[in-house]
Amino acid sequence: MNKAMTICDRVYAVGGPSLSAPEDCCVYLVDAGFELVLIDSGVGYGMAIIEKNIKSLGFEPAQIWHAVATHCHVDHIGGMAYLKENYGSKIIAHELDRAGIEGENDDLTAASMYGLNLRHVKVDLPLRDEINKLHLGNLEFSFLHTPGHTPGSLSILIDTKDGRVLFGQDIHGPFSPQWGSNLNNWRLSMEKLLVLKADILCEGHAGVYRGEEIRKYIEAYLKRYSN
């Protein structure tokens, strides 16, 4: 099943358990015109398949000028060093998860849980505000600080011809004090996402939700973690 999937205008799934490597998160590609933006990168050893999937869409991996680390867990950032070394991709992440990505605190990355050695990488664009807007290619990306799963978790919002697309990685958790998880912060973050009324949700492990499914999905987890 190593084949990319079109999600909507400009957005593709190019990695994940059935697309690249069993331990990979869902890896999404955004066509931003004269550049590509990769949302997360998987654990790392599935990068050759992710590259193949990108090429199957008619793109070249060298067009990935920016790669977004939605948070610092190894299944999301393991391929970032490869992207920077091979294509010069600039890494975007929140400042509060930078220590895990750059190697100052490996406990934050959950690498030991996966039994993996993470190749660390420098964050080129550390985000610090609650909302950061960046023009990448010919698209405006809104980076929303949505802490809870980790202190520096990010959600990303773009507008396409098919509606508003939200990349809300790891909405479902899990949570651990080792990673700096905070359930109260997570609940507040989920309320922020509900207000956005996105048309399409690209989640970090659960795949794609559309329309009313998005609200039901988020509210189900709010209910699960209500106590």
CA distance 179 to 196: 27
Per-residue pLDDT tens digits for 68-91: 999 999 999 999 999 999 999 999
The residue-averaged pLDDT of 133-146 equals 98
CA dihedral sign of residues 109, 112, 113, 118: positive
Contact 193, 137 (CB under 8 A): no
pLDDT of residue 125: 98
Distances (CA, A) of 109 to 55, 126, 166, 171, 219: 29, 17, 23, 17, 27
pTM of the model: 0.96
Percent above pLDDT 90 for the chain: 92
Structure tokens at 46: 């599935």
Structure tokens at 88: 């010069």
Mean pLDDT (the chain, rounded): 95
pLDDT exceeds cutoff 70 at 30: yes
5-224 fold: Metallo-beta-lactamase; Chain A (3.60.15)
Q: Where are the domains of the chain?
A: 5-224
Structure tokens at 159: 């507008």
